């Protein structure tokens, strides 16, 4: 245990107040339908044996009549032999006029409200590229997202799309799950006087006559829920740029002339530049970044074209929502959760980017304060459901707990490994869809640490620790003081993971100094003793907001209940070695192994956070048994790992107790 000396912080530099819970909820997308949709029959994920490469959307939006006429050409590659049917998502509010492959008409039929089947009329081979055109018209359904055609009689009228999670099928035929990303073109025709803004780059515009047409092209593959456009006669714009490594990235703000909020977005170039320093450079630097008023429930990170309701009551300072939505262009748009169960890879990351921007503005202390605020939001409003495959798709567990988990991972790995890992994760998976394992694998590769324990408890496990911690100072020798503290994990073990393993810190405050002591909490009950040079005044768990937990603190240690820890399972590998160790020990730990024949192996002891704390044995034996004196180690969970010369290993778990 080592000691870090630092001055207690003076008055807070952070005098901004954080957004209220109601304001935070504006970030959480409207979810009244999304979870219902995910469990309904319309959430069809029977897999698909094709890969959509591109959507070419040609649509006339007759705003006064709330109707559209459209042709969507879907370019796809087949992934199996003898494919004779395409199953696509499309809402049956539309009248399909025809479906064609080239000049050949194809037959189709609806399967359910949000699905239809196209008979290809021939067997198509694997790896064939098809162009299938769907011609349709009608009035868009918007009960579950999609295209909102808004009459033009108000100075705040904007016609817009809003599609996450599965609203794209309500205005275009598509494969509507985020695992299949495609490039796309939007050729949107609207009544004269309307401007249209959309993802990507404006390729052309035709603004004469009664109907105007704008053609926007997105050249990086995107999930369908990110395809977006907005049309209005009422936009007021401002152009600026961000300097990303010498490249001027064009940025335009589109607000309403009657609600000129352009100044609120003056911070955006600085945030683009900051995220481009700590992450790979802004992924769409050769396109643009636009922020567009649309009357949605809050804000939506449509790629290169964030929609934000400028009437939504974000508070005085908009940095947090601007940073959150912008960061999705990395985490959500460039890399996209492949399944909705992995939504935290979008929303937890974007929430943590709010913390990072606050840290950039207000220093380490500002970052700590914002992280604590995010963690408290989860503690107050979250549930004990895991982050992975959450109970509410856009709930507090995906956003605030997901963000808290990243904050803790940064603490566990340290800044340099954490940011190196994030950068590699982004570059390795650019333009792809990702699952949680992709993220864990990269972080393990970069840190050279096994992170199963961390992801098991924080992503796949439920809830959080409830620590009860008590401390007792006692006079030591030479004017020094010993501080004994006991810590127990008292969370309800039916609802919450148990026992959490977590590196933590305690601070002892004495004579105007803060003394920090790191330790790893890993079982139901542990005791530690630390030493400070003068009489302690106070004591605090996690003084710098590194970890997510609830706690109660006592000024004695006897009030901390003893919580037993039972070993329920031992981790094992798959090589033919039998490795045994005491399940629990205090002074001496007995370790033995036997294998079919003599072969060289090494034995090491790791702590619960995966750090090697002691080499135990290295040599060649058929059988082996020894007692190791380990009374100097702190209490907690340890792993004994046996590795052979091929790098294969088996592991078993033990607990050191009082
Ligand atoms: Zn978000």
Q: How confident is the model at residue 568 (pLDDT cuts 50, 70, 90)?
A: very low
Q: Is the ipTM of this complex over 0.90?
A: yes
- 3-class state of residue 209 by DSSP: coil
In the reported structure, the alpha carbon of residue 161 is separated from the centroid of ligand 1 by a whole-number distance in angstroms of 17
What does the pLDDT read at residue 564? 85
What does the pLDDT read at residue 160? 98
pLDDT tens digits, 31-60: 545 555 555 545 655 668 999 999 999 999
In the reported structure, the alpha carbon of residue 321 is separated from the centroid of ligand 1 by a whole-number distance in angstroms of 9
In the reported structure, the alpha carbon of residue 18 is separated from the centroid of ligand 1 by a whole-number distance in angstroms of 17
pLDDT over threshold 90, residue 627:
no
Q: Which residue has the tokens 């069809």?
A: 44
pLDDT over threshold 60, residue 141:
yes
Q: How confident is the model at residue 657 (pLDDT cuts 50, 70, 90)?
A: confident
What does the pLDDT read at residue 38? 59
**Average pLDDT value for residue range 228-239:** 98
What does the pLDDT read at residue 37? 55
In the reported structure, the alpha carbon of residue 351 is separated from the centroid of ligand 1 by a whole-number distance in angstroms of 7
Instruction: Tally the C-alpha atoms within 13 A of residue 592's C-alpha that lie toward its C-beta.
Output: 7
**Average pLDDT value for residue range 376-382:** 95
In the reported structure, the alpha carbon of residue 324 is separated from the centroid of ligand 1 by a whole-number distance in angstroms of 6
In the reported structure, the alpha carbon of residue 19 is separated from the centroid of ligand 1 by a whole-number distance in angstroms of 15
In the reported structure, the alpha carbon of residue 593 is separated from the centroid of ligand 1 by a whole-number distance in angstroms of 51
What does the pLDDT read at residue 658? 66
pLDDT tens digits, 301-347: 999 999 999 999 999 999 999 999 999 999 999 999 999 999 999 99
In the reported structure, the alpha carbon of residue 326 is separated from the centroid of ligand 1 by a whole-number distance in angstroms of 9
Alpha-carbon span 519 to 504, nearest angstrom: 5
In the reported structure, the alpha carbon of residue 29 is separated from the centroid of ligand 1 by a whole-number distance in angstroms of 8
**Of 142 and 134, which is predicted with more confidence?**
134
What does the pLDDT read at residue 489? 96
In the reported structure, the alpha carbon of residue 349 is separated from the centroid of ligand 1 by a whole-number distance in angstroms of 8
Q: Cβ distance 303 to 333 under 8 Å? A: yes
pLDDT over threshold 50, residue 592:
yes
In the reported structure, the alpha carbon of residue 596 is separated from the centroid of ligand 1 by a whole-number distance in angstroms of 55
Q: Cβ distance 249 to 272 under 8 Å? A: yes
In the reported structure, the alpha carbon of residue 154 is separated from the centroid of ligand 1 by a whole-number distance in angstroms of 29
In the reported structure, the alpha carbon of residue 398 is separated from the centroid of ligand 1 by a whole-number distance in angstroms of 10
Q: What percent of the chain has pLDDT over 70?
A: 93
- 3-class state of residue 316 by DSSP: coil
**Average pLDDT value for residue range 463-489:** 96
In the reported structure, the alpha carbon of residue 25 is separated from the centroid of ligand 1 by a whole-number distance in angstroms of 10
DSSP 229-282: EEEES-EEEEEEEEEETTEEEEEEEEEETTB--GGGGGGHHHHHHHHHHHSSS-
What does the pLDDT read at residue 569? 43
What are the extents of the domains in the chain? 6-23+335-460, 50-227, 464-554, 578-656
pLDDT over threshold 60, residue 538:
yes
pLDDT over threshold 90, residue 631:
no
In the reported structure, the alpha carbon of residue 47 is separated from the centroid of ligand 1 by a whole-number distance in angstroms of 26
In the reported structure, the alpha carbon of residue 462 is separated from the centroid of ligand 1 by a whole-number distance in angstroms of 22
In the reported structure, the alpha carbon of residue 329 is separated from the centroid of ligand 1 by a whole-number distance in angstroms of 10
**Average pLDDT value for residue range 200-223:** 98
* CATH architecture of the domain covering 464-554: Sandwich (2.60)
In the reported structure, the alpha carbon of residue 28 is separated from the centroid of ligand 1 by a whole-number distance in angstroms of 7
What does the pLDDT read at residue 573? 58
Mean pLDDT of the chain: 91
Ligand 1 is an ion; residues with CB less than 5 A from it: 347, 350
What does the pLDDT read at residue 610? 76
**Of 570 and 493, which is predicted with more confidence?**
493
In the reported structure, the alpha carbon of residue 194 is separated from the centroid of ligand 1 by a whole-number distance in angstroms of 29
In the reported structure, the alpha carbon of residue 264 is separated from the centroid of ligand 1 by a whole-number distance in angstroms of 19
Q: Cβ distance 391 to 383 under 8 Å? A: yes
In the reported structure, the alpha carbon of residue 27 is separated from the centroid of ligand 1 by a whole-number distance in angstroms of 6
Same fold, 50-227 and 578-656: yes
Other Cβ atoms closer than 10 A to 177: 21
Q: How confident is the model at residue 585 (pLDDT cuts 50, 70, 90)?
A: confident
What are the strands of the beta sheet with 182-191, ordered from one edge? 83-89, 115-124, 104-112, 95-101, 129-138, 67-78, 50-62, 182-191, 211-222, 201-206
In the reported structure, the alpha carbon of residue 370 is separated from the centroid of ligand 1 by a whole-number distance in angstroms of 17
Fold of 50-227: Immunoglobulin-like (2.60.40)
In the reported structure, the alpha carbon of residue 479 is separated from the centroid of ligand 1 by a whole-number distance in angstroms of 54
Q: Cβ distance 84 to 124 under 8 Å? A: yes
What does the pLDDT read at residue 14? 44
In the reported structure, the alpha carbon of residue 344 is separated from the centroid of ligand 1 by a whole-number distance in angstroms of 9
**Helix (H) / strand (E) containing 203:** strand 201-206
In the reported structure, the alpha carbon of residue 386 is separated from the centroid of ligand 1 by a whole-number distance in angstroms of 18
In the reported structure, the alpha carbon of residue 203 is separated from the centroid of ligand 1 by a whole-number distance in angstroms of 28
In the reported structure, the alpha carbon of residue 343 is separated from the centroid of ligand 1 by a whole-number distance in angstroms of 10
Cis peptide upstream of residue 36 (ω within 30 degrees of 0):
no
pLDDT over threshold 70, residue 376:
yes
pLDDT over threshold 60, residue 10:
no
- CATH superfamily, domain 6-23+335-460, is Neutral Protease Domain 2 (1.10.390.10)
- CATH superfamily, domain 578-656, is Macroglobulin (MG2) domain (2.60.40.1930)
Residue 454: which of 547, 330, 341, 355 has the closest Cα? 547
What does the pLDDT read at residue 36? 53
What does the pLDDT read at residue 98? 97
In the reported structure, the alpha carbon of residue 561 is separated from the centroid of ligand 1 by a whole-number distance in angstroms of 40
Q: Which residue has the tokens 């901390």?
A: 560
């Amino acid at each position: 245990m080592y000691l870090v000396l630092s001055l207690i912080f003076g008055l807070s530099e952070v005098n901004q107040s954080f957004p209220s819970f109601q304001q935070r909820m504006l970030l959480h997308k409207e979810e009244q339908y999304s979870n219902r949709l995910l469990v309904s029959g319309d959430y069809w994920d029977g897999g698909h044996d094709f890969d959509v490469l591109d959507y070419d959307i040609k649509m006339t939006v007759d705003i006064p009549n709330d109707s559209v006429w459209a042709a969507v050409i879907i370019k796809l590659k087949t992934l199996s032999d003898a494919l004779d049917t395409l199953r696509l998502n499309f809402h049956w509010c539309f009248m399909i006029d025809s479906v064609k492959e080239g000049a050949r008409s194809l037959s189709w039929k609806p399967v359910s409200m949000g699905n239809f089947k196209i008979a290809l009329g021939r067997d198509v081979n694997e790896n064939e590229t098809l162009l299938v055109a769907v011609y349709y018209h009608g009035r868009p359904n918007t009960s579950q997202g999609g295209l909102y055609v808004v009459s033009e009689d108000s100075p705040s009228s904007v016609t817009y799309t809003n599609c996450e999670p599965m609203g794209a099928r309500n205005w275009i035929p598509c494969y509507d799950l985020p695992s299949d990303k495609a490039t796309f073109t939007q050729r949107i025709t609207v009544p004269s006087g309307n401007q249209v803004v959309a993802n990507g780059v404006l390729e052309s515009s035709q603004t004469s006559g009664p109907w105007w047409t704008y053609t926007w092209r997105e050249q990086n593959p995107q999930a369908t829920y990110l395809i977006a456009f907005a049309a209005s006669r009422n936009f007021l714009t401002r152009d600026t740029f961000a300097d990303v490594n010498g490249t001027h990235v064009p940025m335009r703000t589109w607000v309403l002339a009657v609600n000129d909020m352009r100044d609120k977005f003056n911070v955006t170039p600085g945030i683009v530049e900051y995220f481009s320093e700590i992450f790979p450079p802004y992924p769409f630097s050769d396109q643009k970044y636009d922020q567009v008023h649309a009357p949605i429930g809050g804000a939506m990170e449509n790629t290169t074209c964030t929609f934000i309701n400028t009437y939504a009551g974000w508070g005085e300072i908009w940095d947090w929502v601007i940073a959150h939505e912008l960061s999705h262009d990395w985490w959500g748009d460039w890399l996209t959760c492949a399944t909705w169960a992995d939504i935290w890879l979008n929303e937890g990351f974007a929430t943590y980017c709010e913390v990072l921007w606050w840290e950039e503005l207000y220093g380490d202390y500002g970052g700590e304060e914002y992280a604590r605020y995010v963690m408290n939001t989860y503690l107050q409003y979250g549930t004990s459901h895991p982050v992975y495959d959450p109970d509410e798709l856009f709930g507090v567990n995906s956003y605030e707990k997901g963000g808290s988990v990243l904050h803790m991972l940064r603490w566990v790995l340290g800044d340099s490994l954490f940011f190196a890992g994030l950068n590699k994760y982004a570059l390795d998976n650019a333009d792809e869809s990702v699952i949680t394992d992709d993220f864990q694998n990269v972080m393990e590769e970069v840190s050279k640490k096994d992170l199963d324990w961390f992801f098991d408890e924080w992503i796949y496990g439920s809830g959080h620790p409830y620590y009860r911690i008590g401390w007792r100072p006692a006079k030591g020798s030479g004017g020094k003081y010993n501080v004994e503290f006991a810590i127990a994990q008292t969370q309800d073990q039916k609802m919450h993971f148990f026992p959490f393993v977590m590196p933590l810190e305690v601070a002892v405050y004495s004579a105007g100094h803060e003394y920090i002591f790191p330790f790893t909490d890993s079982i139901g009950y542990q005791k530690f003793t630390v030493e400070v040079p003068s009489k302690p005044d106070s004591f605090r768990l996690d003084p710098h907001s590194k970890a997510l937990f609830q706690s109660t603190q006592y000024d004695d240690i006897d009030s901390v209940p003893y919580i037993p820890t039972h070993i329920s399972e031992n981790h094992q590998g798959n090589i033919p070695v039998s490795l045994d160790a005491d399940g629990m020990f205090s002074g001496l730990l007995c370790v033995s192994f036997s294998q079919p024949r003599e072969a060289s192996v090494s034995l090491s002891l790791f702590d619960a956070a995966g750090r090697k704390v002691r080499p135990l044995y290295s040599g060649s034996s058929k059988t082996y048994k020894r007692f190791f004196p380990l009374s100097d180690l702190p209490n907690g969970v340890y792993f004994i790992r046996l590795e052979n010369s091929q790098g294969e290993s088996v592991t078993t778990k033990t607990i050191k107790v009082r």
